Structure 1
Amino acid sequence: MKQFITLSFALFLAITNAQSNFEKGMKKAFELWEADKTEEAENLFERIANAEKDNWLPHYYITQINSLKSWNVKDETILKAQLDKAQKHLDLAMSFSENNPELLVMQAQVYTNWVAFDGRTYGMKYAAKVSELYQKAKQLDPNNPRAAFGAADWEMNSAKYFGKDTAPYCEAISNSVKLFDSYKLESKYHPNWGKERAIKVSEVCK
């Protein structure tokens, strides 16, 4: 009995220490990111991902960083390197967490990066997939604000691109803002972005 208690306590300490190291690392990575030390933050997320073999969160943020860096890139070689890295880590994250609405939303973001870079080349390849990803994310988690806003924003911009009325999407965007306030996060390190962008789009939506 004593041996069992000792083993259980040792296991508890190991789990607690692992959680502590993960939380410390994630906290530091976010601090670096918020201080505009994006490369350092990305490197730290990579180290966390290497240590946390089955945790999708560090891979998610590596993907997000590379997606964000790609929005205004004009050089296709640089864009491809960044988005290939984003896709590699997103695929790893999905292998740990199937049917994860947050990962589906991030996949839609990466595909949107390609469409934004060259709509004529990549629109036919990815546009329908982006819509499908947002719809699947909404089905899996109807209250997810990033899925709700992403879907409405994508459809609105698609309508704008084709010269159609964007007003029908304004209510959906406005409703997505409310979801940001009521959505419960699983942890402080789970995705929690998008509200400011949703508010801005809602304010100018007509």
Structure 2
Amino acid sequence: MKRILFSLMAVAGTIFTVQAQSDQYKSAMKQQVALLDSNSTFTVGGMQQLANTFERIAEAEKTQWLPYYYAAYCRVNEAFMTENKSKTDEIIDKSVLNIEKAQALKGPDSEISCILSLIASARIGVDPMTRGMKYGPESAELLETAQKQNPENPRVFVLKGQSAMYTPEAFGGSKTRAKEMFDIALKKFATFKPESDIAPNWGEGYVKELIKQVQ
């Protein structure tokens, strides 16, 4: 009887510990995710700091894909905003490492394909003349994959519109095309429901700012 009671107490203790860890993880993630769309955070230093935090959470919660995903998202944005292009590839490489870990845990996923597309676009920015032919089609193909994986993902259309907006017309860019994609993105955001309160849901505020620029 004592052995049974001890076993039950041990199981209860384990469940309590796991639950406490889970609650701590969710609390930490909610705090950081809430900062992603803040203008004060959307700077090189802000993205770097957030990436560092998500990477620490990822190392503590090695079975969770979202910390790696968000770390990759922050790193690639850091790469886009970094003025010293000699450092860009190094930052992008960190993003790649994180998104590969996320993909290993999550598997094929529309949100991950969006980050991979962003990574390819960031590579172009280092030297558009020599890298555009390689990474441009790669970025576009990844967005097509993301759309097939989840046609209702608004971030796919945010990124398609962004690509059309910043690509020269001689290479297929168009503000008209960008506006079309942004309008679709807003319609998708109106009905999109993230899987949880810490699942990817970024981009709505950003696309509204982009629409102002193309109108």
Same fold (TM over 0.5): yes
Aligned partners of 1:194, 1:112: CA distance in 2, in Å? 17
Partner of 1:23: 26
The 5 Å alignment of 1:31-50 reads 34=38, 36=41, 38=46, 39-50=48-59
Aligned partners of 1:164, 1:63: CA distance in 2, in Å? 26
Partner of 2:136: 127
The 5 Å alignment of 1:14-163 reads 14-30=17-33, 34=38, 36=41, 38=46, 39-158=48-167, 160-162=169-171
Change (3 A) 1:25 1:72: closer
1:12 equivalent to 2:18? Answer: no
- Work out the number of aligned pairs and report it: 206
**1:22-75: per-residue Cα shift (whole Å, max 9, x none)?**
123223434676564734433321221111112111111211221111223343
Aligned partners of 2:172, 2:63: CA distance in 1, in Å? 45
My pick for the range that moved more, 40-49 or 7-16, is 7-16
Aligned partners of 1:110, 1:167: CA distance in 2, in Å? 25
Code of the aligned partner of 2:70:
Y
Code of the aligned partner of 2:29:
M
CA RMSD in angstroms comes to 2.6
Aligned partners of 1:165, 1:92: CA distance in 2, in Å? 35
Match of 1:190 among 175, 199, 203: 199
**TM-score w.r.t. structure 2 length?**
0.82
Deviation at residue 8 of structure 1 after TM alignment: 4.7
Q: Give unpaired runs (5+ residues) of structure 2.
A: none
Q: Give unpaired runs (5+ residues) of structure 1.
A: none
Q: Is the 8 A contact 2:80 2:122 kept in 1?
A: yes
Flag the structure with more relative contact order, 1 or 2, with Cα contacts below 8 A and sequence separation at least 6.
Answer: 2
